[in-house]
Amino acid sequence: MKNKCAVTFLWTGLAAMILLLSLSSPLPAATTTLTYSIFFPASHGQAKAGEAWAREVEKRANGRIKINVFAGGSLTPADQCYDGTLKGISDLGMSVFAYTRGRFPLMEVLDLPMGYPNGRVATRVANAYFKKYTPKELAGVKVLYLHAHGPGLLHTKKPVTSLAQLKGLKIRSTGLSAKVTEALGAVPVAMPQGQTYESLQKGVVEGTFAPIETLKGWKQAEVVKSTTDCSQVGYTTAMFVVMNLKKWNALPADVRKIMEEVSAEWVDVHGKAWDDLDKEGRDYTLSLGNQILSLTPEESARWKQAVRPIIDGYIKNVSAKGLPAQSAVQDVEKLIRTYEKRYQ
């Protein structure tokens, strides 16, 4: 009987200890699952950079965050990605400001033909500019970071090194690049990248304005013979990585800090990825026997003068909305010069 009581007492004591330990030990943190819509196809270097960002956030959060990436616009199409994030269709989104042109007037300054030398400079400029202005047009979301491609260049079936040679040529271009094409005296023809190869091949267009990475990524080097390095008037396309504000505010403070720290590091990850893709495009077109031509200083000055009305038009139109367009342009020009010294 004594032994039975002793055993009972022992088990009761052990149970009490286990209960006390369980109450004193913190419960494992719950995992928050997020959805991330990326418009790039999964095979694209920028989609891979976005995927790597997600995995790094998960790693540093020790399992408290799980991010499911939906590439190729499979969750929200490219032109609906921002609204999809704003409304909570996705928790995170990566796409292009210019797909909803007119909605982000202060951010559109980044896309102007200001003479971007490479993707890292363009990406650094975009983030520094946003940090200074924090436009109200983006107040509905949490902006994690921005990135932007290297300069849009001219790729043609015949060599072009002057405005005279460019005049009247049919050039595939859309949005802002169509304005650049027209300002330079050529004829803009709008079409998506997916149709450009066949259009060049059949002579529907005689050239295209695009980052040089498209020569490999879209195989367009097979149907052009020459690239004009007109980076002096190089435009870019600014892209966002944003988060639904309600979902952001619901995260613990330490998790938000982790996401901001990783985002700050990924600015250069994306900038370098753009430059790596441009190098691959450059190497690929040269391997096919194509040429890359530079403008003379005199001709470069003519091209810059020709596109200046685009910049002046932006200043006039956006200033009329009561926004500081003039200072925005000046600041972007200064930022390009600053980062150009670091990343050339």
pLDDT (mean) for 155-166: 98
Residue-level pLDDT at 21: 41
Handedness of CA 315, 318, 320, 322 (dihedral sign): negative
Q: How far apart are the first and last CA of the chain?
A: 88
Edge-to-edge, what's the strand order for the sheet holding 65-70? 65-70, 32-38, 92-96, 238-244, 141-148
Residue-level pLDDT at 14: 45
pLDDT (mean) for 146-161: 97
pLDDT (mean) for 126-138: 98
Which of the four pLDDT bands, split at 50, 70 and 90, describes residue 141? very high
Cα distances (Å, whole numbers) of residue 292 to 163, 165, 201, 226: 17, 16, 19, 6
Is the CB of residue 9 less than 8 Å from the CB of residue 39?
A: no
pLDDT, tens digit, 9 for 90 and up, residues 245-295: 999 999 999 999 999 999 999 999 999 999 999 999 999 999 999 999 999
Instruction: Say what the pTM is.
Output: 0.88
Residue-level pLDDT at 343: 86
Show the tokens assigned to 269.
């990850």
d(CA 97, CA 111): 9
Tally of CA atoms within 13 A in the half-sphere of 300 that contains its CB: 14
Three-state secondary-structure class, residue 144: strand
Is the CB of residue 114 less than 8 Å from the CB of residue 331?
A: no
d(CA 269, CA 262): 10
207 Cβ contact partners less than 8 Å away, ≥ 6 residues apart: 154, 155, 156, 157, 160, 169, 170, 171, 172, 186, 200, 224
Is the CB of residue 240 less than 8 Å from the CB of residue 82?
A: yes
Residue-level pLDDT at 11: 47
Residue-level pLDDT at 29: 64
* Average pLDDT over all residues of the chain: 92
pLDDT, tens digit, 9 for 90 and up, residues 65-80: 999 999 999 999 999 9
Is the CB of residue 88 less than 8 Å from the CB of residue 102?
A: no
pLDDT, tens digit, 9 for 90 and up, residues 189-218: 998 888 999 999 999 999 999 999 999 999
